[in-house]
């Protein structure tokens, strides 16, 4: 017994309809961002407060995103002209409540002289 050609066409249409529905669902879930609002509030909740001092224009507490690194502070604080900018090479993530000292060039030179070992 051979299958009716109409039955084959119906099966093919059903498979195509199913695939179309599946692709539509995948597209809608990929383009909608249900976690976007949650993620945005999560970032706001993860802010930390650090205390900036030293060679900066405005010392004191500063609220920054929780994933802020030392190197990011270069854009977040206004330094004085004698600030030692080498400190911003650090990539370490800052911690909540951390005291961040931006040294002056003069203070950095003194510290490096103390660190020299004399034989």
CATH number for 85: 3.10.560
- Model-level pTM greater than 0.95? no
- pLDDT of residue 72 exceeding 50, the answer is yes
Number of Cβ within 10 Å of residue 3's Cβ equals 8
**Residues above pLDDT 70, as percent of the chain:** 71
How high is the pLDDT of residue 57?
94
Looking at the structure, tell me whether residues 77 and 106 fall in a common domain. Answer: yes
Q: Assign 111 to helix, strand or coil.
A: helix
Smallest CA-to-CA distance from 60 within 49, 69, 73 is with 49
Q: Supply the range of the domain harboring residue 19.
A: 5-32
Decide: 87 and 70 in contact? Cβ < 8 Å.
yes
Lowest mean pLDDT among 25-29, 50-54, 82-86: 25-29
Same structural domain for residues 97 and 56?
yes
CA distance 50 to 52: 6
């Amino acid at each position: 017994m051979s299958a009716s050609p109409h039955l084959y066409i119906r099966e093919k249409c059903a498979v195509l309809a199913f695939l179309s529905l599946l692709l539509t669902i995948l597209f809608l879930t990929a383009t909608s961002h249900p976690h976007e609002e949650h993620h945005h509030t999560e970032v706001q909740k993860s802010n930390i407060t650090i205390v900036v001092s030293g060679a900066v224009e405005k010392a004191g507490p500063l609220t920054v995103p929780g994933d802020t690194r030392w190197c990011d502070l270069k854009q977040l604080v206004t330094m004085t002209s004698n600030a030692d900018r080498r400190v911003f090479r650090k990539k370490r993530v800052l911690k909540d409540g951390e005291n961040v000292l931006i040294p002056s060039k003069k203070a950095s030179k003194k510290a490096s002289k103390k660190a020299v070992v004399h034989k």
